Structure 1
């Protein structure tokens, strides 16, 4: 099943350099770019026309560049200054587009393969250099030290984070066994927390599972990596074999605080649980950005009910999977509104080993709804209990990130969800599995 998905992923990667070459020559409607150059024209105008960039903008850039070179208080290396300029091109586009030097690009690849040296946390760098935690990865130093989704890291080892802090692999990466002290701002805490984390080699087992009770299984997916779909299938088969009858009566699929990962992996798992129907589509400005994924016959659960557990830390590929199962009425979604990262990033390699991570498309669920800045709204809404309830709602959502890409169905102020921890949400999802089948559009609030 799904023999074409790895081929598609490779095709997208191979097409990236050609795609990158197309980007600079595209002009928006109304751009005053010069399209036709007559012989004898100013050489600067010829170069401007070739790049599709207005000549006046080039002159303004050169003026600022020269001013820095001549008058800045300290000498600035040309390479460093140009690198800063390139990063600046991407900084104000949206929170997910970025320039990655060679080390960062390699680290990005390591993350998808599930092994790297660091603290084990998925983060989003903010424009001021501070770092927002999307989610700590299960059973990593960050999770064990108490780092939580929604935390903002403002300093590392006493040094305040700035946009320059992200250069190289960043301050959170480092040798296994070394200790890093994080200054963390957390909603509900009167002052920043000081949290020490000992770095390790992060080998993330992205799938684990167990039986909740006879006939009902639980599978936790912490991230979508290259081998996650294979691990999901083997874990599900193991649980089915251990049930006695070889079949399950229901499955709780836990995607809480799963920050996402590889789209193709999420598509494969959706396909494992669907017999037919759409999974996700992407739409962008160029043909290579448009794609549509559909399920093939072969539901590994053989129609048994599924409950998908989500919260505010469920982002990107997690939302794709939850949306696919929800829109096909294959599963009930239980928890709180998801993060709302509904944009696609394409890694465009450059000739010097660096890469550009560029937002190129938006995700749409099978019903045609955009995830961006809206997220997935659960069928059954859960709220935190006890002492953690006051701090769990941390205004934590894509829609609240500075400079975020506008969502098609964005509603200001109503997009933040709760971070749900502990076993109580699992028990609530299990209870949903035991209910008679109802419409996937029903919504119930539970304490």
Structure 2
């Protein structure tokens, strides 16, 4: 196993852009030390009085009775929501979900979402989930959930509406760029089992690994998948495609481990920089450096990204791009470059607060900008001259290394392999372009 240690100056948590179904990613964090002159600065008495007056007026005149807990919870929620889209109040249910969501199993539609200008925006559909299969795309705006408009509801309320009993159907009404009318999708809820690492030997010694999320075990699982690919290729890969398309992010630790696997000592002999953060407070800053040792032995590497690649995906793409370790191919990434720290308020509730921005090794902030590919290749459909029988129909579960066998299909022999470059061209043009470039780089290294 390819193990490395990371150099940390502080520990923070990087969280995905919004709620996964049912929650966002979580990792343990050090509580940030706040300078006394900021934390203990007295709140002006007139502000306290105005807040107290507002509570009194609500309790006296509101059409229905409300209790103090509901008012204070909503007040805290309002304070956080007014800061930025990723700072939020974690009530008892949300706080519990946040701490258990990296197991890779949850129920729902399989969409990563955020709230933008009063509507629910799709960050990305998770690969192989009901939403992905139904045709939901990154950048779609959900305007209705069933018969209910999303106007005026919170992100958590929208998430709750998307949940439901496994096997039930939810109708989504969506606005999509380039479409003149709203689109309708019927999506069947399922239990979502997210396998974060998928692998395939494309052809003639070239490997393909797709990371769908950055979970606690993603780095280790990727290294095991690479070892299997090397074995299938006769001991060494000629090159690798790392597919981060529609990967919404996840754990910072995992993103660092994945980046570090492909990085080595720089020309100066010093460890290469993976990522660093900068915030207002000293405790919100950290730097991650890679140890020597490239798991690919410097074989060519191409990374695929698109506008569904966010957060931890952008850390990996930025680290490999700025260290000139990989060619980044695809379209502009999402641009989620902020760090959220989870701070408990008590043993059942907390807040998720933006405490820093992260930067690539070249000092570039990704926030609201994203990673720009070295080679821009749009997601286009190349029509076939003829639809010949047996043509490559994309990757399915049966194509993946280590897939569970079905009792009937097991008797039919080995699963289908990728047919040829022409089939790949028609099914996934970006992947076809990446493989073409990878082969050219391998030839140039001879």
Counterparts of residues 71-110 of structure 1 (less than 5 Å): 71-110=61-100
Hey, which bits of structure 1, 4+ residues long, moved more than 4 A?
Answer: 3-10
Does the C-alpha gap of structure 1 residues 183 and 5 become closer, same or farther in structure 2, counting only changes over 3 Å? farther
Post-superposition CA distance 1:185-244 (Å, at most 9, x none)? 222223322322221211100110111211111111111111111111111111010002
Does the C-alpha gap of structure 1 residues 4 and 383 become closer, same or farther in structure 2, counting only changes over 3 Å? closer
Q: Which runs of 5+ in 2 are unaligned?
A: 14-26, 266-271, 384-425
- What do you get for the CA RMSD once the two structures are aligned? 2.7
Say yes or no: does 1:363 pair with 2:368. Answer: no
Match for 2:429 among 406, 424, 434? 424
Does the aligned pair in 2 maintain the 1:91–1:127 contact within 8 Å?
A: no
Does the aligned pair in 2 maintain the 1:107–1:169 contact within 8 Å?
A: no
Match for 2:108 among 105, 108, 118? 118
Counterparts of residues 237-256 of structure 1 (less than 5 Å): 237-244=227-234, 246-256=235-245
Post-superposition CA distance 1:61-90 (Å, at most 9, x none)? 222222222222333222212111111001
Counterparts of residues 58-207 of structure 1 (less than 5 Å): 58-126=48-116, 128=118, 130-161=119-150, 162-164=152-154, 166-167=156-157, 170-207=160-197
Aligned to 2:298: 303
Does the C-alpha gap of structure 1 residues 70 and 127 become closer, same or farther in structure 2, counting only changes over 3 Å? farther
Greater shift in the superposed pair: 324-333 or 172-181: 172-181
Per the TM alignment, residue 267 of structure 1 is displaced from its structure 2 partner at its CA by 0.4
Distance (Å, rounded) in 1 between the aligned partners of 2:158 and 2:136: 23
Secondary structure in 2 aligned to 1:27? helix
Q: Which runs of 5+ in 1 are unaligned?
A: 29-49, 389-420, 439-447
Secondary structure in 2 aligned to 1:15? coil
Does the aligned pair in 2 maintain the 1:103–1:168 contact within 8 Å?
A: no
Distance (Å, rounded) in 1 between the aligned partners of 2:363 and 2:316: 14
Aligned to 1:444: none
Aligned to 1:224: 214
Say yes or no: does 1:27 pair with 2:42. Answer: no
Distance (Å, rounded) in 1 between the aligned partners of 2:98 and 2:131: 18
Does the C-alpha gap of structure 1 residues 165 and 435 become closer, same or farther in structure 2, counting only changes over 3 Å? closer
Per the TM alignment, residue 133 of structure 1 is displaced from its structure 2 partner at its CA by 0.6
Per the TM alignment, residue 111 of structure 1 is displaced from its structure 2 partner at its CA by 3.2
Distance (Å, rounded) in 2 between the aligned partners of 1:304 and 1:313: 27
Per the TM alignment, residue 370 of structure 1 is displaced from its structure 2 partner at its CA by 1.0
Greater shift in the superposed pair: 53-62 or 164-173: 164-173
Aligned to 1:13: 28
TM-score with structure 2 length normalisation? 0.79
Counterparts of residues 322-361 of structure 1 (less than 5 Å): 322-361=317-356
Say yes or no: does 1:260 pair with 2:260. Answer: no
Does the C-alpha gap of structure 1 residues 76 and 200 become closer, same or farther in structure 2, counting only changes over 3 Å? same
Distance (Å, rounded) in 2 between the aligned partners of 1:297 and 1:189: 49
Does the aligned pair in 1 maintain the 2:29–2:342 contact within 8 Å?
A: no
Does the aligned pair in 2 maintain the 1:27–1:52 contact within 8 Å?
A: no
Does the C-alpha gap of structure 1 residues 61 and 106 become closer, same or farther in structure 2, counting only changes over 3 Å? same
Secondary structure in 1 aligned to 2:112? strand
Does the C-alpha gap of structure 1 residues 177 and 286 become closer, same or farther in structure 2, counting only changes over 3 Å? same
Does the C-alpha gap of structure 1 residues 354 and 5 become closer, same or farther in structure 2, counting only changes over 3 Å? farther
Post-superposition CA distance 1:7-48 (Å, at most 9, x none)? 9579x83523xx3x848x6539xxxxxxxxxxxxxxxxxxxx
Does the aligned pair in 2 maintain the 1:364–1:370 contact within 8 Å?
A: yes
